């Protein structure tokens, strides 16, 4: 597995998003099978594992803690996110969760659930303009104390990123980025390059849409996020077919899968960008991690972008819709 760097933190070129092991995409694997799959990903070169305290209201962190406890701590990167307001089960949190006291209490809870004494990448999960400067200040203290190695922001604007970075150097941001969502190319990605900030990509395959495996006839479990993501509306699946056709064309030429083209496109853009992919089957782990070895040439990348520019995208992944199901646990957990 190839690696990339977020500041001084070395991460695998593709990370594993652990959210789906406890919620978000319908019935998931059992806890035992989930742990086995996390270990399988590690054995195949993945060293970065992403979670958040909001996922399944603390339960996802607990799962990740169990899954990682038997792996060598110095060989894995834990990417965790803290929510700006109280979650069920966090009654001990001070009234202002984004105060220094609140952040410290939130972090201690995550450390306990993750069964570790430090977190490599600790990210503010939802932007809060009012508390941004205080959060940045506290992150600096936590880094000095060794509680975290680096910190980040989720989906910040360029101005928010500049403000936070001026107080405590930001290690990474985590935002959606894919062939279906390219808005960050205008200012945020260039700013990350200028400031030396890493970019973690969530939903690099448009919640699986870019794999080309879904049709307008597919039905999703009631607890599956795709029931509220408008890209998966029947009319939008049909309307976005030109994008799938384009990806399929490149996949045939490169003798790989469509999912691998979607990931390879992200990796080709900049060496500080790392996609985090949800993978809940061995074959998906092999396929997605294998995308690190699929290389687009400069000419292919330019040509692909030119063709992407001509395609209109229908539907999106709206956070307000996601919030409706973002914490619903699978029956297995």
55 is catalytic: yes
The DSSP symbol for 181 reads B
Instruction: Give me the residues paired with residue 181 across strands.
Output: 178
Q: Which two tokens stand for residue 84?
A: 């700006």
What do you get for the CA distance between the two ends of the chain, in Å?
31
Q: Which two tokens stand for residue 273?
A: 């960008």
Instruction: Give me the residues paired with residue 23 across strands.
Output: 329
Q: Which of 55, 122, 177, 214 is catalytic?
A: 55
292: left (phi over 0), alpha (psi -120 to 50) or beta: alpha
Burial of 177 (0-12, 13-18, 19+ CB in 10 A): buried
Cα 287 from Cα 259, distance rounded (Å):
8
**C-beta neighbour count of 216 within 10 angstroms:** 13
**C-beta neighbour count of 287 within 10 angstroms:** 18
Would you please indicate which residues are annotated as catalytic (active-site) residues? 55
């Amino acid at each position: 597995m190839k690696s990339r760097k977020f500041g001084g933190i070395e991460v695998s070129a593709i990370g594993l998003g652990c959210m789906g092991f406890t919620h978000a995409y319908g019935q998931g694997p059992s806890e035992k099978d989930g742990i086995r799959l996390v270990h399988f990903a590690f054995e195949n070169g993945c060293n970065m594992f992403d979670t958040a305290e909001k996922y399944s209201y603390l339960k996802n962190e607990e799962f990740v803690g169990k899954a990682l406890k038997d792996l060598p701590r110095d060989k894995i990167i834990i990417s965790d996110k803290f929510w700006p307001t109280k979650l069920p089960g966090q009654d001990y949190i001070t009234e202002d969760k984004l105060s220094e006291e609140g952040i410290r209490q939130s972090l201690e809870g995550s450390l306990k659930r993750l069964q570790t004494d430090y977190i490599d990448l600790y990210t503010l999960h939802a932007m809060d303009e009012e508390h941004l400067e205080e959060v940045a200040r506290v992150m600096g203290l936590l880094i000095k104390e060794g509680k975290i190695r680096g910190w980040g922001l989720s989906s910040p604007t360029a101005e928010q990123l500049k403000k936070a970075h001026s107080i405590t150097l930001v290690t990474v941001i985590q935002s959606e980025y894919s062939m279906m969502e390219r808005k960050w190319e205008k200012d945020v990605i260039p700013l990350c390059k200028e400031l030396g900030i890493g970019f973690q990509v969530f939903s690099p395959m448009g919640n699986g849409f870019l794999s080309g495996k879904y049709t307008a006839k597919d039905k999703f479990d009631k607890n599956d996020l795709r029931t509220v993501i408008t890209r998966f509306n029947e009319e939008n699946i049909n309307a976005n077919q030109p994008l799938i056709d384009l990806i399929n064309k490149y996949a045939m030429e490169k003798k790989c899968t469509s999912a691998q083209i979607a990931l390879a496109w992200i990796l080709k853009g900049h060496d500080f960008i790392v996609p985090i992919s949800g993978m809940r089957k061995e074959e998906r782990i092999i396929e997605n991690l294998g995308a690190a070895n699929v290389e687009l040439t400069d000419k292919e990348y330019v040509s692909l972008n030119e063709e992407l520019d001509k395609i209109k995208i229908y539907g999106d992944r709206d956070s307000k819709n996601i919030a409706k199901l973002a914490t619903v646990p699978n029956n297995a957990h």
